[in-house]
């Protein structure tokens, strides 16, 4: 491209690429705002502000795009075609989003591992979960209208609403008169793919400890998390990892 090329001088293909790149820039800029707000004001406050910004941004963005692309939206900016989509198709879409989410997570890990080394990839991965896990819990609390300190049953509901829930097979067991929840990841997409390739389990325990403990505390700060087994720990064929959540006394 010539150094003096303006937007008007872009070819059709270049303009398409500019639009795709603009979407990526928007996503990252939004994420940078959230990250810096979290740094300046704390994660809880950042989640509260993002809740307000996100609703407004969605409505503004979708209404503007609907005028250009010719689709109808409701007052909140939700496309009517999405609201009227058959439930089975919506479920398929939810699964596709879940698979893409975990795929993007894997791509980041692989690029850092190949460009740097495994330790840096694992450290980066674990640190990301310290923000994403409580943020996901915040969004689920809003979606399900969970009350403050919803206890073990609230955590069970929240775990069933995670992105993982549409790509992995999970099971729950309530024990100790409703004070303890045993959560098992019976089938994990990432670990199953490794198993199909004849690879050992990915040692995800360090990330799991961060992920599940921060998620549980974000749902109810009284809940303590303990790992029953998670790779590289040995585990039975019936699950890849398992966790125990307990309401702490006091």
Q: 3-class SS at 224?
A: strand
What CATH number matches the domain at 87-250, 3.30.410, 1.10.10, 3.30.2290, 3.30.1380? 3.30.1380
User: H helices within the chain, ranges in order?
Assistant: 12-41, 43-69, 80-83, 87-115, 118-144, 151-159, 189-196, 205-219
Note the pLDDT tens digit of each residue in 50-86.
999 999 999 999 999 999 999 999 999 999 999 999 9
Cα(101)–Cα(26) distance, integer angstroms:
18
Cα(121)–Cα(103) distance, integer angstroms:
15
CA atoms within 13 A on the CB side of 15: 7
Cα(43)–Cα(49) distance, integer angstroms:
10
Cα(250)–Cα(247) distance, integer angstroms:
9
Token pair in block for residue 127: 């640190």
Domain ranges (residues) in the chain: 12-84, 87-250
Residue with tokens 């990252």: 28
Note the pLDDT tens digit of each residue in 126-176.
999 999 999 999 999 999 999 999 999 999 999 999 999 999 999 999 988
Note the pLDDT tens digit of each residue in 175-203.
888 899 999 999 999 999 999 999 999 99
**pLDDT of the residue at 27:** 96
pLDDT at position 21 over 70 = yes
> Reading across the β-sheet that carries 241-247, which strands appear in turn?
169-175, 180-187, 241-247, 223-229
**pLDDT of the residue at 7:** 87
Number of other CB atoms surrounding residue 243 within 10 Å: 23
Distances (CA, A) of 100 to 62, 126, 167, 198, 233: 21, 19, 10, 23, 28
Cα(201)–Cα(121) distance, integer angstroms:
16
Cα(129)–Cα(180) distance, integer angstroms:
23
pLDDT at position 249 over 90 = no
Distances (CA, A) of 55 to 42, 90, 187: 20, 21, 34
Token pair in block for residue 173: 């067991």
Adjacent-strand bridge partners of 187:
169
Note the pLDDT tens digit of each residue in 76-135.
999 999 999 999 999 999 999 999 999 999 999 999 999 999 999 999 999 999 999 999
pLDDT at position 250 over 60 = no
| Residue 181 near residue 245, CB atoms below 8 Å | yes
**pLDDT of the residue at 1:** 60
The answer to whether the peptide bond before residue 232 is cis (omega within 30 degrees of 0) is yes
pLDDT at position 5 over 80 = no
DSSP secondary structure, 100-117, as one string: HHHHHHHHHHHHHHHHS-
């Amino acid at each position: 491209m010539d150094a003096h090329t303006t937007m008007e001088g872009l070819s059709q293909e270049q303009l398409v690429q500019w639009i795709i790149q603009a979407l990526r820039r928007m996503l990252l800029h939004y994420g940078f705002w959230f990250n810096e707000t979290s740094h300046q004001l704390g994660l809880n406050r950042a989640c509260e502000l993002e809740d307000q910004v996100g609703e407004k941004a969605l409505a503004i963005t979708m209404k503007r795009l609907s005028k250009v692309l010719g689709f109808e939206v409701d007052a909140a900016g939700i496309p009517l075609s999405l609201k009227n989509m058959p439930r089975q198709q919506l479920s398929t879409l939810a699964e596709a989003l879940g698979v893409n989410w975990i795929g993007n997570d894997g791509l980041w890990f692989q690029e850092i591992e190949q460009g740097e080394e495994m330790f840096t990839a694992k450290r980066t991965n674990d640190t990301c979960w310290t923000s994403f896990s409580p943020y996901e819990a915040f969004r689920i609390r809003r979606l399900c209208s969970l009350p403050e300190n919803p206890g073990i049953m609230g955590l069970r509901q929240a775990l069933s609403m995670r992105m993982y829930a549409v790509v992995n097979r999970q099971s729950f067991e309530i024990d100790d008169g409703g004070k303890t929840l045993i959560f098992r990841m019976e089938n994990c997409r990432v670990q199953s793919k490794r198993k199909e390739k004849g690879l050992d389990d990915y040692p995800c325990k360090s990330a799991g400890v961060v992920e599940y403990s921060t998620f549980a505390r974000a749902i109810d700060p009284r809940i303590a998390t303990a790992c029953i087994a998670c790779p590289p720990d040995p585990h039975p064929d019936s699950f890849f990892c398992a966790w125990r959540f307990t309401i702490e006394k006091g």
